[in-house]
Structure 1
């Protein structure tokens, strides 16, 4: 997901002021553990209500004999206008109640800067605050997962049906012809998650399309990037429908909240997983309980599951919980007074993330700068907001970019060896381009005057990996997050190529008279100089919010992994992980779709009682 400081932030106070709070008659939604039904026993406890946890909790509760408890640290998302209106998403983080408000450790690869690191802390998790881009990833990414795990069920061909189970492709709100924007035949039409192409045109769309015709050798048009081969540039598919965000909560939880066997507990932090005994046959420790609290100073309360605890707290919070529960390496745990229960050195390691750089350009016509018009023109802003509220139509129903490009560095420009290439294979991109109608930056405000557009360059096949470690023995203290950005020469070279490719895209004649130059600090960068482009990347690089890999999946005998192909935590019984932390390699995609697919298959495996190892 993408996290630029879009100028739409000016709308957020309006949106937050229109929050509606539903009545507490939703009997299966609870704000405190003290309100849970007395004496009720839960078969499954799911921790975290993002695309992993919401899917698993919903699917397991389809069996009326299963009692399922879903626990979310943040508040309910229902009725929050800033969550529902797609283009308002950029104001949901950082420093809001819907965000964990994390910050990384200082990054040597980014001139020693730390980076604001948003993660969703609300029902729906990060799917309720992300920028909604929907990409399945490449066939090579999934086939690598199958190879690493030894389970062909994680291959592209095996996973593709789960995507169709998830999706419901809906028409855009302006009802334009989408036949050349998406291949409906490869998608699902009856799933819980709404998927569509942009609901309204942006001023730059026609020029992006013209460039694809003029520079087709470099930027081929891809009608549908979710075919298994995403390479090229095409229309963005996003998780909204009928003008409204489609999140894990709105898709998998709220429609089924009335089920008597599905309880949802919000505003409650799981502080650790509890060891409740040892298995008689295997001697493995059984983790069948969780400890919860409402705040750092409140009392703790234990809740037990009769079958499984499933951690779906995300790539930052899941390893934190495992470590707090004594699952990790002895020395760092002992230093914090935590007794090791399971030796699992890979917990919190192998953190991989996508780094982005925003590159700004000046444009001639102020009317073509949508984001600055939203900031500077109150009448225009009110008209768009009124249009959305009354009809769910208009540009507020879009995400930040109507087009997305997935590209590889041309072979004649690759300065690394084949062994150094971190991508999964020839259908997996090295980098991504996004095109936004305004000034987008994570580090500097838009100039007071002028009109702009931004090309966002993203490294999507990084070889750098970092870690998540404990700062203290409290779940209420942020962990130490070190993504290790630009820690390899491969990453530096690919991001350099991505920045140059974004600028090259705008050299097509389609931009003549539209683009008048570069803007902000980017104007001083000599794009022919490796040193200057690399310095620009280090000064501007930040996260696109895609942390993965901190509880990675591996084969049954792989000692460098945390979970097995069934996503069970190795060395334990009754404990499983279903979220982005299990991905052995970061997908060259926006990972939310991959997590949905992993969760759908995980739910199927749990229902079937499969034991691969």
Structure 2
């Protein structure tokens, strides 16, 4: 059921219709005796694929229409549409290392071990219809990159499962170029349930918290302001949105809230802190005429994808058996800007997967429509670890580009090596992998910076849980879509028990 919220309350209100929110709404509404309301600030284009914009369905591109801010810094991009980031990302699904799960289990308990999360990973893969890369989707560049990885001695690994360093291909939630987002995968059948209400174009303002319990969620809709009541409130507005809702509700660092004009309700210093994202640097190359011709022919067939493989690499600073870099060779239409017809961008990106730098999210205003103060703090750790690892990644990128398979298709761009850049020059070139986590981090009762426990319960507030990427204490050495899907499946099962 989609439309304006009825006056009655619900058993569960899910605030945020992104990847985690779709999982929660679908799983919890499987019980016909449990009423569920899913709230999403963006559009709901409906159950039929043909009603969705072609840009959102196109798995070859990164659409940027259904976002909170247009023409903004790249690290601020976040989806505003039912299905969330699964509607705007690259449809890539990879998995982290055993070390990632050890970090999560120390913070959240045994539910977060690799073994405990394994069935939920597989369940998410099935529900999202994930598949291996078909042979026809490999461009000449991707094929050459696979050969180059083997030439350098990398072994092949399963990118969507625990393992070690090596090369491989991601699992895709796309078929024949059509993006299969979380709204299709999880809400397709659930929409018909009379106990599920989907309230789209409805922005969460704040929670009403009294005497240590949530008594309502104030939401701005097309029909005016409403207060939704429930027994349980699940906050799933993402790494930027979830801490913002808590802060506007008076839950967060008390002194900071007071400066923002918000009356503090609960002094919880960790809200908005511990922001982690994966920075990267792009090594540009010049495609040969032959590569441009091959890419143009594949684009003409509608099967050109910028990248279909990557390498999990370990820097000298990485623990044995794990990896701390993604080395990603790409060739195709430029991500930013444009080139004349028949010309393409090629290069190799190095992404720092396990950064030590920590940023934060703050309010600029108590108004929900106001842009947030988002400081990613890339490459700012005092010890210089992140710069050192990223330089190691650039060396790996240059080694890959210098192999015979890739060198035959693209030449080094003119100018000095990126390795010769001083630290400030390297920082000026940093981009993002768009995998922010950590701003409502989980932790034990003795952790002063923890916002939630291992089951997403907000410390000091009854009836409220956070279930999205913001609760991850550390970022996995992976693209975050599959880990967040699995975490939401796991925590949905906790709530169903």
Distance 1:590 1:264, change over 3 A: same
CA distance in 2, matches of 1:192, 1:164: 10
- Which segments of 5 or more consecutive residues in structure 2 lack a partner in the other structure? 47-51
Q: Deviations over 1:393-438 (max 9, x none)?
A: x515x5x3110111111x3xx5xxxxxxxx6x43432111112123
Query: Structure 1 pair 166/267, CA: closer, same or farther in 2 (3 Å)?
Result: same
- Normalised TM-score (structure 1): 0.75
Among 241, 244, 268, which residue is 1:344 paired with?
268
Residue 533 of structure 1: how far off its partner (Å): 6.1
Q: 1:157 aligns with which of 103, 115, 122?
A: 115
Q: 1:226 to 1:426 in 2, by over 3 A?
A: farther
Aligned to 2:171: 237
Residue 364 of structure 1 pairs with residue 261 of structure 2: no
Mapping of residues 161-176 of structure 1, within 5 Å: 161-168=119-126
Question: Structure 1 residue aligned with 2:131, among 192, 195, 200?
Answer: 195
Partners of 1:370 and 1:303 lie apart in 2 by 55
CA 116–511 in structure 1, closer or farther in 2 if over 3 Å, else same: closer
Q: Show the 5 A alignment for 1:32-71.
A: 35-37=4-6, 39-71=7-39
Aligned partners of 1:243, 1:434: CA distance in 2, in Å? 20
Residue by residue over 1:1-38, the C-alpha shift from the partner in whole angstroms, topping out at 9 and shown as x without a partner, is xxxxxxxxxxxxxxxxxxxxxxxxxxx122xxxx334x
Conserved in 2, the CA contact under 8 Å of 1:203 and 1:368?
A: no
For residues 90-129 of structure 1, the aligned pairs below 5 Å read 90=62, 92-93=63-64, 96=65, 98-101=66-69, 115-129=74-88
Please state if 1:495 is matched with 2:390: yes
Where does residue 187 of structure 2 map in the other structure? 253
Q: Do structure 1's residue 269 and structure 2's residue 242 form an aligned pair?
A: no
RMSD: 2.3
Structure 1 or 2, whichever has the larger Rg, is: 1
Corresponding residue to 1:526 among 387, 402, 417: 417
Cα drift, residue 332 of structure 1 = 1.5
Aligned residues: 489
- For 1:52, what is the secondary structure of its paired residue? helix
Give CA-to-partner distance per residue, 1:552-592, whole Å, 9 cap, x none: 00013322100011110000000000000000001111111
Compute the TM-score of the two structures, normalised by the length of structure 2: 0.92
Give the 3-state SS of the residue equivalent to 2:19 in structure 1: coil
How far apart are the structure 2 equivalents of 1:235 and 1:495? Answer: 22
Whether 1:486 and 2:379 are equivalent positions in the alignment is: yes
- Asked if residue 553 in structure 1 is aligned to residue 442 in structure 2, the reply is yes
Residue 33 of structure 2 is aligned to residue 80 of structure 1: no
Of stretches 42-51 and 75-84 in structure 1, the one that deviates more from structure 2 is: 75-84
What residue in structure 1 maps to residue 49 of structure 2?
Answer: none
Query: Contact conserved, 1:193 with 1:247, CA < 8 A, in 2?
Result: no
Match of 1:287 in 2: 214
Q: Is the 8 A contact 1:117 1:543 kept in 2?
A: no
The alignment partner of 2:398 has SS state of: helix
Tell me the equivalent position of 1:3: none
Which secondary structure does the structure 2 equivalent of 1:86 belong to? Answer: coil
Shift of 1:513: 3.1
Aligned partner of 2:312 among 384, 398, 406? 406
Moved more, 339-348 or 451-460: 451-460
- CA shift, 1:77, in A, is 3.8
The answer to whether the 8 Å contact 2:16/2:40 transfers is yes
Distance (whole Å) between structure 1 residues aligned to residue 416 and residue 226 of structure 2 = 56
* Distance in 2 (alpha carbons) for counterparts of 1:260 and 1:450: 52
Q: Output one character per residue of 1:273-321: Cα deviation in whole Å (capped at 9) or x when no partner.
A: 112x43xxxxxx11141101137xx84221111x211000000010000
Paired residue secondary structure (1:291): strand
Between the aligned partners of 1:164 and 1:534, the Cα distance in structure 2 is 41
Separation of aligned partners in 2, 1:597 and 1:518: 40
Shift of 1:451: 5.0
Give 3-state SS (helix, strand or coil) of 1:600's partner.
Answer: helix
What secondary structure does 2:197 align onto? Answer: strand
What are the ranges of 5 or more consecutive residues in structure 1 without an aligned counterpart? 1-27, 105-113, 169-190, 279-284, 375-379, 385-393, 415-422, 609-613
Post-superposition offset of 1:445: 5.1
| Contact 2:266/2:460 (<8 A) preserved | yes
Does residue 1:589 correspond to 2:478, yes or no? Answer: yes
Which residue of 2 is the match for residue 325 of structure 1?
A: 249
2:103 to 122, 135, 144: 144
